[in-house]
Chains A and B, each alone.
Chain A
Amino acid sequence: DAGVTQSPTHLIKTRGQQVTLRCSPKSGHDTVSWYQQALGQGPQFIFQYYEEEERQRGNFPDRFSGHQFPNYSSELNVNALLLGDSALYLCASRSTVSTEAFFGQGTRLTVV
């Protein structure tokens, strides 16, 4: 079991561009959450996907959107990138019958 995997691991984008980050959940997990972790801060909840629908959303603008596929993998899209979007983006998966969340290694996004 590869656990939660994310791609890419690092990414550099220019302000105003769009980016797509990808996450494959741990085997047997059907729920995927995305978090933004700025340097020196705790992870901040962006949104969660279950059954291909956004089930809950944190305090992030509409520039942040996502998708979940039938195989439970997920994408995070960020439009009109700002310098402040530079952060480590973490994906966490779990089963709906469990509370334990497993994190991927993250994608470090740098906006220049």
Chain B
Amino acid sequence: GENVEQHPSTLSVQEGDSAVIKCTYSDSASNYFPWYKQELGKRPQLIIDIRSNVGEKKDQRIAVTLNKTAKHFSLHITETQPEDSAVYFCAAYYQTGANNLFFGTGTRLTVIP
């Protein structure tokens, strides 16, 4: 199946600085890459996604980039705020059979006020 690796596992930034989380995937057939934010004790929430026909997508302070050749994608958060503190998961959509998401191991982001 798909293998998704995510780095770093923890990330601390000062409020206002940028944060970057990187993921790689193994299945070249994957064509959908969502990012989820999970706050403590809560369900994962989709924050942004990108499809393989696009190289970059932005939504206010959040952006995602995709490099299909290298099979890696990244989440960029600019002007970080304390409420951005959470665990972030990348995922790849395994384009076969029933089509399921395979998740990275998560990055715990802490934004220091």
Report A's interface with B, CB cutoff 8 A.
Answer: 31, 33, 35, 40-45, 48, 50, 55-56, 58-59, 90, 92, 99-106
Contacts and interface: CB of A to CB of B under 8 A. Distances in A.
Given A43-B89, A105-B43, A50 B103 contact: no
Given A48-B100, A56-B97, A92-B101, A100 B6 contact: no
Contacts, number: 58
Contacts of B1: 58-59
A104 B43 contact: yes
Contacts of B6: 42
Nearest to B106: A42
A103 to B, nearest CB: 4
Contacts of A99: 32, 34, 49, 93, 99
B101 A101 contact: yes
Contacts of A40: 106
Given A55-B98, A99-B93, A90 B46 contact: no
A88 B98 CA distance: 23
Interface of B: 1, 4, 6, 32, 34, 36, 42-46, 49, 89, 93, 97-106
Contacts of A50: 98
A33 B103 CA distance: 13
Contacts of A59: 1
A5 to B, nearest CB: 11
B100 A103 contact: no
Contact of A56 (B32, B44, B100): B100
B43 A45 contact: no
A59 B45 CA distance: 24
Nearest to B6: A42
A34 to B, nearest CB: 10
A14 to B, nearest CB: 24
Contact of A43 (B32, B44, B46, B99): B44
A103 B106 CA distance: 16
A12 B100 CA distance: 29
Q: Identify the 8 closest CB pairs spanning chains A and B, nearest first.
A: A55-B98, A56-B98, A42-B103, A103-B43, A48-B98, A99-B32, A42-B105, A105-B43
